[in-house]
Amino acid sequence: MKFNLDFDAGRIVEGATIAEVGAELLEKVVRIASGEPSRAELLGHDELFCITRI
């Protein structure tokens, strides 16, 4: 499954700080929001994701 992960926060368990990993995650989110394709997009998936409240 590693081939389709955009971000792996498992480094926290290996000793990285939450602040370091959080900063990397924020950078990744900004890059994807700015147009960098996600792993799912690179693999050809085009499902829509929607969060709704009931």
What's the predicted TM-score (pTM) here?
0.72
- For position 32, what pLDDT does the model report? 92
Q: CA triplet 49, 38, 33: central angle to 5 degrees?
A: 75
Residue keyed to tokens 């992960």: 5
- Spatial neighbors of 28 by CB under 8 A, at least 6 apart, are 6, 7
Q: Where are the domains of the chain?
A: 2-42
Say how many Å lie between the first and final Cα of the chain, rounded: 31
* Phi-psi domain of 35 (left: phi exceeds 0; alpha: psi -120 through 50; beta: other): left
**HSE value, Cβ hemisphere, 13 Å, CA-based, for 37:** 9
Question: What are 2-47's pLDDT values in tens digits?
Answer: 667 889 899 999 999 999 999 999 999 999 999 999 888 888 877 7
